[in-house]
Amino acid sequence: MARNRFDVDENLESPFDIRHFRRAMVYIRRKKKPMLLAFVLSALSAAIALSAPLIMQHVVDVTIPAKAKLPLLGWSLLMLATIVVSVILATLRSRIMTSVGQDIIFDIRTDLFKHLQELPFKYYDDRPQGKILIRVVNYVNSVSDVLSNGIINFVLEIVNLIFIAAFMFAVDVRLSFVILAGLPVFLGIMLLIKTRQRRAWQSVSNKSSNLNAYLQESISGIGVTQSFSREQYNEGTFTRLAGNFRKEWMKALNYNTLIPFTVDNLSTSVTALIFLVGLLTLDPKDVTLGVILAMSSYAARFWQPILSLSNLYNSFINAVAYLERIFETLDEPVTVSDIPDAEELPPVRGQITFDNVTFAYDPGLNILENISFDVRAGQSIALVGPTGAGKTTVVNLISRFYNLTAGRILIDGEDISQVTLKSLRSQMGIMLQDSFIFSGTILDNIRYGRLDATEEEVIAAAKAVCADEFIREFDQGYLTEVNERGSKLSQGQRQLISFARTLLADPRILILDEATSSIDAKTERLLQRGLNELLKGRTSFIIAHRLSTVKNCDRIMYVSNKGIAESGSHDELIARRGLYYRLYTAQKMEA
């Protein structure tokens, strides 16, 4: 799909509306007690700080003209005390909100990760990993401050404005209206740029996502890059994506800087207007120097919350773009899930039935059509055929990694769509073509699917698949630390460890997808002897391109043309001289 590319911008399903922030309030309400305490501390700090201009007015108009030294010292100490107490309260509030912000980050990120764990394979098929990772890490960090400090600061600045306005009008009504004269200009500019500003930050979000996706892809594929000497070409691609991000960031930043520029100029103009109106047009008996100084101080204080609110608005606009992405991910439907009242699948024997199964990854493009077959418990089934015919799809459907387009799959007569996913998959051992190794010890990797397994059981599983010998060659043996994806191990070693992990889970149904493709012929022969014992009593599906590894299976199915073209034992299919016969003889000639 087009969106599964690092250089294609993502489109939002719907425009942002206030419901996004209502949903965000769920996380905020969990921290309402510390946030309320922080708000009270902030309000007290602001109220105490606002008394300073009144003290200054009294000192200029009364104390200094009276030349009262002792009262002047007292008023000075009182003003110092208001500053100290205000700073202490603000610091306490900052510490509380730092903790609250981290708690909100933790809650959102945990919900995102939990949801990502439940999303079906199709979601990951359609998106680069980098575009998923950036939502869990960067975007959550970007919205946390707005959802914690931003809410409190917004309310606090509104309260500050009310307090300041009350103090202003208490000192002089006429000069208060002079201060308010700049508000219509400010609101007009805000309304003019708000839509463009939001679109600009949405574009920044897209370019950041594209850059992150390409970076993740490049790191994962660094071996291929260096093998084909693609470094210079990749640098050019990265430079282009980074340049696109820089360009959109600067465009969005221009809108952000316009607001404080407007506020600063309006604040300066209003302050100058106070002196002009107060000194030239009003009666000096009513408007003293102390009144003018107090009102100019309140003018600066009045526009400071306006500037803070405008900065909060900028943060809000930025957060909107990220919240859209976060909630878009949380709203992604879990299409493969337990139905209401799904039952636990009891311990299975392993009889599997495909009943007129049809499947398509994308609507109208069927990969499989009307497939029907029965597998008896304990049978070994080989799936062969050309690349892309649907062999891996068949086994993925048994594990219910995707929903069927039509038909049913039954295990021991139970429709797998009617049972819980956990009870289904816990009885299956699946070794996919890509042998993924997690960071940690080799012991932890083998024990991944069965955490309660003893060390002796882990070693027994490793011995059965011929992994024990090479594991013991490491200095730390089973406690050897391996990196993500097992970069310290050969591909064959990774597959053997994955084999041991699958077999340790002791599944009733075993699925091996090209499980021996990276193992040398000698190891494969040793492994085959162990597998023959382990496959006894289990239903198994084996996908292999090397037909020599599956000729002893109970039944071989040739998958082609959206169905099962041929089915039978190796000898039966050879006798028919059909598709399987031609494939087998062609491989023998190549060998």
d(CA 557, CA 247) in angstroms, rounded, equals 55
Task: Locate 308 and state its tokens.
Answer: 């803070």
Q: Residue 64: what residue type? A: I
d(CA 69, CA 323): 58
Q: Tell me the range of 141-150, 225-234, 365-374, 499-508 where mean pLDDT is highest.
A: 365-374
319 forms beta bridges with: none
Give dist(CA 261, CA 306) in Å, integer: 12
**pLDDT band per the 50, 70, 90 thresholds, residue 568:** very high
Q: Pick from 186, 163, 173, 184: which is nearest to 278 by CA?
A: 173
Q: What are the φ and ψ backbone dihedral angles of 455, each rounded to 5 degrees?
A: -65, -35
Joined together, the tokens standing for residue 459 give: 């070693």
- Tokens 């996706």 belong to 213
Q: Give the range with max mean pLDDT: 23-27, 156-160, 344-348.
A: 344-348
| Direct distance between the N- and C-terminal alpha carbons of the chain, in angstroms, rounded to an integer | 38
Is residue 86 pLDDT above 70, yes or no? yes
Count Cβ atoms below 10 Å from residue 363 Cβ, excluding itself: 7
Contacts of 430 (CB under 8 A, 6+ apart): 395, 399, 502, 511, 513
Q: Is the pLDDT of residue 205 over 70?
A: yes
Q: What's the 3-state SS for 406-465?
A: EEEEEECCEEHHHECHHHHHCCEEEECCCCCCCCEEHHHHHCCCCCCCCHHHHHHHHHHC
Neighbours of 572 (CB within 10 A): 13
Cα Rg for the chain, rounded, in angstroms?
Answer: 35
Among 573, 572, 567, 554, which residue's Cα sits nearest to residue 376?
554
Rounded mean pLDDT, 351-365: 92
Tell me the mean pLDDT in the region 65-89.
80
3-state class percentages of the chain: helix first, strand second, coil last, to nearest 5: 65, 10, 25
Give the least confident one: 9-18, 416-425, 456-465. Answer: 9-18
- Which of 289-303, 523-537, 570-584 shows the highest mean pLDDT? 570-584
Mean pLDDT for all residues in the chain: 81
| Average pLDDT rounded to a whole number, residues 8-31 | 67
Question: In the structure, how many helices (H) and strands (E) does the chain have?
Answer: 21, 12
Question: How would DSSP label each residue in 78-146?
Answer: HHHHHHHHHHHHHHHHHHHHHHHHHHHHHHHHHHHHHHHHHS-HHHHHTS-HHHHHHIIIIIHHHHHHI
CA proximity to 561, closest of 369, 384, 364: 369
Check: pTM over 0.85? Answer yes or no: no
Query: CB-based contacts of 374: which residues, under 8 Å, 6+ apart?
Result: 351, 352, 353, 354
d(C-alpha 35, C-alpha 57), whole Å: 35
Within its chain, how far is the Cα of 181 from the centroid? 46
Q: What is the pLDDT of residue 14?
A: 45
Phi and psi at residue 543, to the nearest 5°:
-105, 125
The string over 388-399, giving b where at least 16 C-beta atoms fall within 10 Å of a residue's C-beta and e elsewhere, is: ebbbbbbbbbbb
Assess whether pLDDT exceeds 70 at residue 17.
no
7 has pLDDT over 90: no
Interval 216-255: pLDDT, tens: 777 777 766 776 677 888 888 888 888 888 988 888 888 8
> Is the confidence at residue 385, as pLDDT, over 80?
yes
Among residues 550, 541, 564, which one has the least CA distance to residue 398? 541
Instruction: Give the CA distances from residue 134 to residues 16, 207, 213, 247, 391, in Å, rounded to whole numbers and listed in that order.
Output: 20, 11, 8, 19, 33
Ranking 2-16, 385-399, 414-428, 547-561 by mean pLDDT, the lowest is 2-16
Q: What CA–CA distance (Å, rounded) separates 473 from 470? A: 5
Compute the distance between CA of residue 185 and CA of residue 180 in angstroms, rounded to an integer.
10
- 568 C-beta neighbours (distance < 10 Å), count: 16
Using pLDDT thresholds of 50, 70 and 90, give the confidence band for residue 487.
low
67: left (phi over 0), alpha (psi -120 to 50) or beta: left
Beta-carbon contacts of residue 370 (< 8 Å; ≥ 6 apart): 356, 357, 358, 407, 563
pLDDT at 443: 92
